Amino acid sequence: MSVVRKISMMVGFSTILIGCQLEEGLNTDQERHGTDRDSDFNREEVSQDQKDDSRNESDIVFDSEDQTSNHQRNREVDVDPDNEDQSEDEEKEGAGHEDESESRRVEVMPDQTFELGSDQDDIRIVQEQLIEVGYQLEVDSVFGIDTQRAIYHFQKEHEHLSNDGIYGSETRAALEEALENKVEIDTNGFAEIQLPHEQKREEDHSEAEIDSVYSENVAEEALFEGMVFVGSMLNVRETPDAGAEKVGRLKNGAHVFALKENGNWTFVYSNDATGWVANPYIKEIPYDSTQKQTVSNPNDLLVLVNKKYQLPNDYEPEDLVIPDVPFPFKGTPERKYLREEAAKALEELFEASQEAGVELYATSGYRSFATQKEIFSRNVSRLGFEIASQTSAFPSESEHQTGLAMDVTSSEVNFSLTTSFGDTKEGKWVEENAHKFGYIIRYQPGKEDITGYTYEPWHLRYIGKKAAKEIDERGITLEEYLN
Ligand SMILES: [Zn+2]
């Protein structure tokens, strides 16, 4: 197989992606947040992202000559365009920012398609208008589960709309009408509503099981495990030919097994589609998966999760609760949750900090596998695979999936996750006192080669008082403590 050739092609491609990013603003937000290995997105970062994740209904495939970047010339390109009319978007967005008057109620709704995982600034308008009609949402320009739930609920309330949880032209029209007529929607029970994919998951249980057996077998046969990195959607074709029939499409971030190669084409298996895809958009996952181990004790308070030890993909803690501590945002998003014992300890920690005159905020706790995958994929499309894998946790390798980690911050650093938090009054208090409540600062300076991460003064991990005390006294990491 020709991994070396593939990698060298990939490196060229990524370098250009990174180059673009540098021009677009790496020296601002990326620099400040570049060390956040958990890559908690924030509003500024999201608003800078001009990439349009919305799916284009028309199924156009660019020929290589049509691609805007030179590096893609003379290479098989088989990718759908993902940038719809950018300038038009920007105009609309500008209008939205300036318009603070009463007419905000009927602000021009984005004429695009948004679905789970989309992150574009215009989603902010959709979220604000959903709030106008009665939904409790966080405005973060990311089409996450909460936004999907609200759209889905709104569609259920309007019989003529199809129930797909996707914001498209018909949902847009109905939402505009509701806003014009100042309709208030009865949103009782909307937070509990089951989304289409959640219902489907139960029905397809046995199918999913069969699938996982298949993919395990496939994994043994595979040339390599890879990931799709593409702006939007990648076509999968019946034969290795740009003119061959399409048998499916793969999203950015999709996990694939490469089974064979033919010229510039790779035959891949994935949960969504099986067939031939153009090489430049499949990237080998840069680790030897045989070196990875899945932990057998995900519920243990001392569970070790890092680049070597992964949680099972489907692991979800059963005792998640929202700690009663200040957050710099409203609503009940997933990231407010922690496991019960960790939540109680965090409340005690916050209480003690307030008594000491220290004003802490919690920003990011539990994160499901699906969310981490979304974040990782978004970073891949924004930064390229190499940078993304250095700066954000691979899905199932994030400690946040344990429900035992919480990122904390303060107003002094603008609620961001930045190493300068360590120099603030709040950061110093946390460093000195966290262990008394069973928490440790998980990623300490000078321990990068052990933990795999650079210094993160904001990332607290709950391990219980006894272990935290010993780790604090000996100045060691959780890895060293457990060995
Ligand atoms: Zn974190």
Question: Are both 148 and 256 inside the same structural domain?
Answer: no
Burial code (b: 16+ CB inside 10 Å, e: under 16) for 90-123 equals: eebbeebeeeeeeeeeebebbebbbbbbbbbbbb
- Positions in the chain short of pLDDT 50: 1-105, 199-213, 288-289
Residue 425 shares a structural domain with residue 448:
yes
**pLDDT score of 138:** 84
Tokens, residue 414: 């603008």
Helix (H, G, I), strand (E, B) or coil at 461: strand
Q: Which domain holds residue 175?
A: 86-198
Output the pLDDT for position 77.
36
CA of 405 to the centre of ligand 1 (A): 7
Last residue in a domain, options 244, 262, 289: 289
Q: Given 289, 307, 339, which residue is the final one in a domain?
A: 289
113 shares a domain with 165: yes
Domain identity same for 393 and 379: yes
pLDDT tens string 216-242: 556 566 677 788 877 678 899 999 998
| CA 458 – ligand 1 centroid, Å | 7
Q: Which of 279, 333, 5 is nearest to 140 (CA)?
A: 333
Q: Strand, coil or helix: what is 69? A: coil
Ligand 1 centroid from CA 392, angstroms:
10
How far, CA to CA in Å, does 412 sit from each of 37, 442, 444? 21, 22, 21
310 CA to middle of ligand 1, Å? 16
Q: What is the pLDDT of residue 284?
A: 77
Instruction: Let me know whether 11 and 76 are in one domain.
Output: yes
Distance CA 410, CA 430 (A): 11
Question: What is the CA(377)–ligand 1 centre distance, in A?
Answer: 17
How far is the centre of ligand 1, averaged over its atoms, from the C-alpha of 404 (Å)?
Answer: 10
Instruction: Give 36 Cα–ligand 1 centroid separation in angstroms.
Output: 8
What CATH number is attached to the domain comprising 102? 1.10.101.10
Question: Is the same domain home to 180 and 46?
Answer: no
- Whether residues 177 and 208 share a domain: the answer is no
Q: How far is the CA of 266 from the centre of ligand 1 (A)?
A: 36
Q: Specify the pLDDT at position 386.
A: 64
Q: How far is the CA of 319 from the centre of ligand 1 (A)?
A: 20
Using the mean position of ligand 1's atoms as its centre, give its distance from the Cα of residue 364 in Å.
7
- What CATH number corresponds to the domain at position 329? 3.30.1380.10
Q: Are residues 356 and 228 in the same domain?
A: no
458 and 359 co-located in one domain: yes
Whether residue 462 is found in the same domain as residue 343 = yes
* 252 CA to centre of ligand 1 in angstroms: 24
One-letter amino acid for residue 139 of the chain: V
> 192: CA distance to ligand 1 center in Å?
27
Asked if 342 and 303 touch (Cβ cutoff 8 Å), the reply is no
Shared domain check, 106 and 62: no
- Confidence (pLDDT) at 10: 38
CA 366 to ligand 1 center in whole angstroms: 9
Distance 131 CA to ligand 1 centre (A): 29
- How many angstroms separate the alpha carbon of residue 313 from the centre of ligand 1? 18
DSSP at 134: T
How many angstroms is it from 471 CA to the middle of ligand 1?
Answer: 19
pLDDT at 84: 33
Looking at the structure of the chain, the number of domains it has is: 3
pLDDT at residue 221, as a whole number: 66
Residue 318 has phi, psi (to 5 degrees) of: -95, -10
Q: In angstroms, what is the span from residue 198 Cα to ligand 1's centroid? A: 27
Distance 365 CA to ligand 1 centre (A): 7
Q: Are residues 77 and 91 in the same domain?
A: no
Among candidate residues 198, 222, 249, the one where a domain is terminated: 198
* Cα 33 to middle of ligand 1, angstroms: 12
203 C-alpha to ligand 1 centroid (Å) = 34
